[in-house]
Amino acid sequence: MENWLMLTLVGKDRPGIVAKISHALFEMKGNLGEASMTRLGGNFTIMLMVCIPESKTVVQEKLQNICDELELFFHLDAIEAGLHQHIEPDVRISIHGADQAGIVASATDALNKAGLNILNLESDVGGSSESPVYIMHIEGIAGKGFDAVEQALQALSRKKDVVARMTPIDTMVG
C-alpha cells in the first residue's frame, strides 16, 4: 500500500527552502504529489503530499535536521490520499474592499449557507498600511446553484460594503 504523508512547513522566508526540502525527500525516495507553496507575509509556507517508503518517524528525524538548520517548523501527518482526484470548480468568486475585521468569516459563512464548497481560496492584503485593502479569490462548486451564491454575495456586499462578484467557470475541453 502507498504510504502518503502530508508535510506542513512554515518559517521565515529565505532562498533554498524548497530545494533543500525536496532534495531531502528525494533522497528518501519520496515521490512528491500535489503541493501548495507560497510566501505569506514574509513567511514561506508549504503544504505538500509525499508518497514515501520510509516510516513517518524516519522522515520526521531526517527533516528535523534540515529544519533546525533553516529555522523552520514542520509537521507530518499520515494521510489517506491519492492522485488523479481533481474536482472541477464551477464558480469563481472575487471579493475586495477596505480591510475589516471578520470579512472572511462573514463571507465564507454566507457562502457555506449558499451551498458553496470551497476548493481553493487565496487572499491578500494590499493597499497601504493606513488604508489596507482586502482581496479574496475563491474557486468552488455551487452545490445549491449559482443563484444562491449570487444572492449571498449581494447580501454580503450590502452588509459589509465590499465588492463581491461571481463568474461561472465554464471549462473548455478540446
Which residues of the chain form contacts with another protein (CB under 8 A)? Answer: 38, 84, 86, 88, 120, 122, 124, 135, 137, 169-174
Contact 6, 49 (CB under 8 A): yes
- Distance between CA atoms of residues 6 and 50, nearest Å: 6
Q: Select 129 or 171, whichever has its Cβ closest to another protein.
A: 171
**172 contributes a contact to Zn ion by CB under 5 A:** no
Please state the closest distance from residue 170 (CB atom) to Zn ion, in A: 16
Contact 130, 119 (CB under 8 A): no
The one-letter amino acid code at 13 reads: D
Would you call 72 exposed, middle or buried from its count of C-beta atoms within 10 A (0-12, 13-18, 19+)? buried
Please state the closest distance from residue 137 (CB atom) to another protein, in A: 5
Identify which range of 6-14, 79-87, 154-162, 166-174 contacts Zn ion by CB under 5 A.
166-174
**174 contributes a contact to Zn ion by CB under 5 A:** yes
